[in-house]
């Protein structure tokens, strides 16, 4: 059997074993080391160099810093205050509560970028209120789950940081290019809510006037200003220094982490127990990401050492697939893979394999990165393994069924696919 076919079999075997539930990091690294040791010449000589090269990647330092920033803000109560204020601000409109969830999801995405934290926070705070006010359960769950995933496309996004590393694209450029597609997605969500509430007004009612008046009695304007001001300060601090060229994304992540601590201190929420909790969760999430990254680095070394990337390019050339046909094929594969595996696994397993083909076709890696980020966002929403669905179900009231959540996210997955197609057909929507 040729080396190239061994590479393809290794690729397929990893996908099959992932479905068994075995930890991906050890699966990726373990299978690759076994195959590399017995098949790839000088494998053990090259592996330490590749691993050290990955560990020394300065850009990836942004990952733990952005995670730390997001968790600090989530535990400081910022999300709760923001949701309460926005709910009253849009409360007079039919569907106003749902619109407020989208707005808050957008602000939290731009100031935290942590899907789990955002979905859990909004699920705990908004879902019981929306159900109590007579909202359709599928609509309420769909809004919360989809708004919670906006952090995957709206910068600062961990997904964009990882994609920039894999595609060898400047993370700052990816952040800039993602702003307009992210905002289009937000407005598409809001338009859907407005149309839905007009067609089914009883499923997305406005808040009673008495409730709005009662909330506004207690220094409403200052609470609203404070709720908006804190996330906006952080957004401007993080994205402002990147877009103006003052700091790199990694340095901006450090600014964001410090800014989150300062805001928490201002809110008088900073404590040793909070720092300990945030530190432990940051270490856990970062360790998971980097273990998968090291496993993926080992896989990429073996795959390329066996000539798998060259074979894939030759297969595409021999099949006479055009550049855009191949792009559509990759997008379909990534979308389907999102039903079964995590976005990190897709980034580190599939993207490095197809990247040489995109290079061969001379396609803009920045555009490819944004398309992949939009596509990967759906992986959080697609059953059976959509993480946003798990997070939401974990904090949902007992009357919310899993089937309600699945029904609720369907329109938002379709919206994401439409926005993905728009960016695919009109690359200038990236503003580049």
Amino acid 192: pLDDT: 94
Q: Which residues of the chain have pLDDT under 70?
A: 1, 19, 21, 24, 59, 79-80, 111-118, 121, 211-212, 214-220, 309, 312-313, 316-317, 340-342, 384-385, 430-432
Contacts 24+ apart (CB under 8 A), 231-237: 231/73, 231/78, 231/82, 231/107, 231/108, 231/110, 231/111, 232/107, 233/259, 233/263, 234/69, 234/73, 234/111, 234/259, 234/260, 234/263, 235/107, 235/110, 235/111
Amino acid 317: pLDDT: 67
Amino acid 334: pLDDT: 86
How far is it, in rounded angstroms, from Cα 88 to Cα 3?
63
* DSSP state for residue 427 in the 8-state scheme: G
Question: To 10 degrees, the CA torsion angle through 190, 193, 194, 196?
Answer: 160
Phi and psi (nearest 5°) for 337?
A: -60, -30
pLDDT digits (tens, 9 = 90+) for 324-363: 888 998 898 888 877 766 677 788 878 888 888 888 888 9
What number of H helices and E strands is found in the chain? 20, 0
Amino acid 417: pLDDT: 92
Phi and psi (nearest 5°) for 257?
A: -60, -45
**Domains held by the chain: number:** 1
Nearest of 117, 108, 33 to residue 75 by alpha carbon: 117
Contact 401, 370 (CB under 8 A): no
Phi and psi (nearest 5°) for 383?
A: -70, 160
Range of the domain at 266: 3-430
Amino acid 239: pLDDT: 76
């Amino acid at each position: 059997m040729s080396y190239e076919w061994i590479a393809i079999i290794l690729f397929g075997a990893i996908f099959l074993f992932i479905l068994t539930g075995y930890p991906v990091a050890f699966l990726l690294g373990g299978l690759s080391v076994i195959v590399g040791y017995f098949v790839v010449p000088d494998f053990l000589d090259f592996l330490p160099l590749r691993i050290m090269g990955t560990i020394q990647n300065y850009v990836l330092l942004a990952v733990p810093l952005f995670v730390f920033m997001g968790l600090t803000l989530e535990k400081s109560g910022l999300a709760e205050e923001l949701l309460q204020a926005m709910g009253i601000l849009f409360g007079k409109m039919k569907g106003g509560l749902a619109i407020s969830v989208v707005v808050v999801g957008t602000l939290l995405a731009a100031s935290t970028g942590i899907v789990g934290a955002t979905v859990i926070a909004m699920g705990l705070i908004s879902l019981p209120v929306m159900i109590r006010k007579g909202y359709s359960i599928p609509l309420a769950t769909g809004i919360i789950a989809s708004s919670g995933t906006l952090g995957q496309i709206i910068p600062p996004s961990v997904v964009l940081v990882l994609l920039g590393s894999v595609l060898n694209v400047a993370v700052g450029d990816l952040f800039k290019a993602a702003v307009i597609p992210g905002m289009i997605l937000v407005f598409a969500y809001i338009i859907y809510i407005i149309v839905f509430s007009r067609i089914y007004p009883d499923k997305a009612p406005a808040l009673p006037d008495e409730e709005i008046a009662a909330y506004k009695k207690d220094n409403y304007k200052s609470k609203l200003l404070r709720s908006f001001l804190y996330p906006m300060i952080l957004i401007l601090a993080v994205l402002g220094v990147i877009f103006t060229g003052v700091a790199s994304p990694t340095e901006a992540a450090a600014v964001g982490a410090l800014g989150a601590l300062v805001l928490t201190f201002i809110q008088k929420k900073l404590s040793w127990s909070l720092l300990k909790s945030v530190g432990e969760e940051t270490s856990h999430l970062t360790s998971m990401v980097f273990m998968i990254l090291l496993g993926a680095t080992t896989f990429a070394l073996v795959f390329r050492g066996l000539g798998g990337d060259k074979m894939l390019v030759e297969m595409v050339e021999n099949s006479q697939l055009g550049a855009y046909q191949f792009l559509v094929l990759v997008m379909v594969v990534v979308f389907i893979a999102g039903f079964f595996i995590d976005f990190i696994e897709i980034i580190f397993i599939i993207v490095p394999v197809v990247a040489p083909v995109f290079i061969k076709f001379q396609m803009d890696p920045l555009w490819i990165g944004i398309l992949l980020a939009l596509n990967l966002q759906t992986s959080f929403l697609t059953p059976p393994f959509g993480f946003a669905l798990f997070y939401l179900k974990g904090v949902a009231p007992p009357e919310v069924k899993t089937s309600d959540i699945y029904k609720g996210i369907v329109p938002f997955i379709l919206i994401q696919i439409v926005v993905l197609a728009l960016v695919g057909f009109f690359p200038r929507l990236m503003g580049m």
